[in-house]
Amino acid sequence: MKKYPNCRKRLIGGHTYWIARLVFPPDPTTGIRRPPKEFSAKTAAAAHSAREKAREEFNRNPRADRSTSLAEFLENEFIPFEEARYKSGELSWGRYQERKSRLKRFVLEHPKATQMCRCDLATLSPEMFERFFDELLKAQIGANRRNMVRQDLMLALRKAKRRLQLPVSEYFADIPVANEKRKLKLLFRADDIIDRIEDESLPVESRAIVAFEFIINCRPNEMWALLWSDIDWQADEVTISKALQRDEHGFTVKDCTKTGRSGDRRLPLGPLLADLLRRIHKARMAHGPSSEYVFCRPDGGRHDKDSFSYVWDRIRKELSLPEGPTFYSLKTTGNTYALANGIPSAVQARKMGHTTTRMADNEYRTIMDAEIVKAVEIYGRRPRRTA
């Protein structure tokens, strides 16, 4: 932990000085914040001391809350606010439960956060938050978990920003995002997937499930909510406008996608996938099971995340796919294959229901061996000069 938070070194006229920045709260009548004031000195201690003396002289936020502790705010205001967001459809049940659990486990019930939680909103300081995250680091809490707790607290303080003495960013200025060691994502080879879904000796339904995720690149919870009525057989198109969502009652079908109505999309199936789905539909009509869902269990009920985990083991064995990559990794494999073959990332973003191309270009993108080979081969294409 830094002894003097928010102090930075700066080179001025060939000499090194320490700069301590004082940020002012917004004016209570106009809402306008005056520009920050900087204090320079030869040492960090001197700069910090000058800033603290000046801080006492300036009027602080008269609306700062001195009657509500951080713990009371989180328990009585922020967590109920997040619950209301979940009930209105703005936040998934899973996200709400995870955030609530983190705040209780790592803040409200954590022994090293007791002093910070008892402080009222007006007396919270950047030093308190810095000490708290240092304790999480000493307790060997992982980088990803610390980052999520940091994000939860930032969201909470933003809701109380008019009741704090400082801007929200000042409380986290010396708490950078921790570096995460992300696990290497295991993927299938695109050529292997294409070979499997075109192999007529393999079960049609297993091929169709793999082909749908590989070609359409949707979220699995959008697949499990898909109805036969969502398919236009004349145009060979599918409409994705529903998703399976977990709540306190289990899994229910939500009449919109993860991004709301902006995520609804009508997509062509293509000849291969359309043929596989037609054959499944005809088989179901002739032999059952009778179900309104395109992808269903043997009894006709829809799949969900829990039930499909058992089905995926069977599908992987039926198609002789290697262990390691998950079913959801087919989305990355399919997106990578499309981009490597010249499909614009904007088109892929539209297919996947994303509002920007960032996920298509980064999160669901890897480098194929053929791309690396091509990147080397281009240097030998220039014709040789002749005398």
In order along its 387 residues, the chain shows pLDDT tens digits of: 567 777 888 888 788 889 888 887 666 556 677 788 888 888 888 988 888 877 765 656 667 888 899 999 999 999 999 999 888 878 877 789 899 999 999 999 999 899 899 999 988 888 889 999 999 999 888 888 999 999 999 999 999 988 888 889 889 988 888 777 767 788 999 999 999 999 999 999 999 999 999 999 999 999 999 999 999 999 999 999 998 887 777 788 888 887 777 789 999 999 999 999 999 999 999 888 889 999 998 888 899 888 898 899 999 999 999 999 999 999 999 999 999 999 999 999 999 999 899 999 999 999 888 888 888 888 866 666 665
Residue type, 127: E
pLDDT at 364: 93
Which runs of E-coded beta strand occur in 198-326? 231-232, 237-240, 243-247, 250-254, 265-268
pLDDT at 369: 83
CA-CA-CA-CA torsion sign (326, 236, 192, 336) = negative
Residue type, 346: A
The CATH number of 190-372 is 1.10.443.10
Six-digit token string for 287: 């032999």
What is the spatial distance between Cα 139 and Cα 141, in angstroms, rounded to a whole number?
Answer: 6
pLDDT at 258: 76
pLDDT at 200: 95
Residues 6+ away with beta carbon under 8 Å from 371: 340
What is the spatial distance between Cα 7 and Cα 184, in angstroms, rounded to a whole number?
Answer: 37
pLDDT at 35: 81
pTM above 0.85, yes or no: no
Which runs of E-coded beta strand occur in the chain? 7-12, 15-22, 37-41, 231-232, 237-240, 243-247, 250-254, 265-268
What is the spatial distance between Cα 239 and Cα 281, in angstroms, rounded to a whole number?
Answer: 17
Q: What φ, ψ does residue 354 adopt, rounded to 5°?
A: -100, 150
pLDDT at 208: 96
In 3-state terms, what secondary structure has residue 7? strand
SS3 percent helix, strand, coil of the chain, rounded to 5, is 50, 10, 35
What is the spatial distance between Cα 308 and Cα 228, in angstroms, rounded to a whole number?
Answer: 19
The domain segmentation of the chain, as residue ranges, is: 7-57, 70-171, 190-372
Query: Using an 8 Å Cβ cutoff, are 268 and 239 in contact?
Result: no
CA dihedral 201→203→208→214, nearest 10 degrees, is -70
pLDDT at 178: 79
Rg over alpha carbons for the chain, rounded to the nearest Å, is 28
**Bridge partners for 367 per DSSP:** none
How far is Cα of residue 258 from the mean position of the Cα atoms in its chain? 12
What is the spatial distance between Cα 384 and Cα 387, in angstroms, rounded to a whole number?
Answer: 10
